[in-house]
Amino acid sequence: MIYNLIGQPHSGKTTLAKHLKTALEINFPQRKALIIDGDDLRKILNNKDYSKEGRRGNISKAYAIAKYLDADFLHDVIIAVVSPFLDLREEFKLTADVVEIYVHTKNIRGRENFHVEYFEKPESNFIDIDTTDVDEFTSVNELLEKISSIKYTNDGFKKE
């Protein structure tokens, strides 16, 4: 299973990804859960290009790595990247079993200059997590509750 946490910088993606990893490993000890975080990916790829083209390249690589790990090694993969481009996310959902999780907040956290003006909000088939004015445990419990209502069918993953 691939969990794709998307949203503006400092919305809580990485924090939720770490908690989700722990929850998955406790509940499914036979599987390994891995996180692909945007900051770590930029370090590994030595790509600090925050332009649209640079972001598209990094996101495409993250998605390719996730599909490889999910299919070939049967890992749960948790991606925590801004991923502002709707077309890349929709294509990813068509080519892999992906649960898209939109993490957002109205609070300003961290450095404002990392806000992505061209972020395209998801339109369909996603889980919405608003981290505004709630602690991380409230957010992760909401996420776990929403994930538990997703069941695999012949047509992919569907919420019950």
Domain range for 107 is 2-159
Report pLDDT for 117.
87
Read off the pLDDT of residues 9-54 as tens digits, 9 standing for 90 and up. 889 999 999 999 998 888 888 888 999 998 899 888 888 888 899 8
Report pLDDT for 34.
95
Tell me which residues of the chain have a pLDDT lower than 70. Answer: 109-114, 150-160
Report pLDDT for 159.
46
Report pLDDT for 78.
97
Tally of domains within the chain: 1
DSSP per-residue string spanning 54-77: HHHHHHHHHHHHHHHHHHHH--EE
The residue type found at 139 is S
Entry pTM? 0.88
Residue entry with tokens 């691939």: 2
CA angle 159, 126, 139 (to 5 degrees): 95
- 42: domain CATH number? 3.40.50.300
Report pLDDT for 110.
65
**What is the C-alpha end-to-end distance of the chain, expressed in Å?**
17
Residues 92 and 63: beta-carbon distance below 8 Å: yes
Report pLDDT for 154.
45
Residue 142 in 3-state DSSP?
helix
Report pLDDT for 47.
80
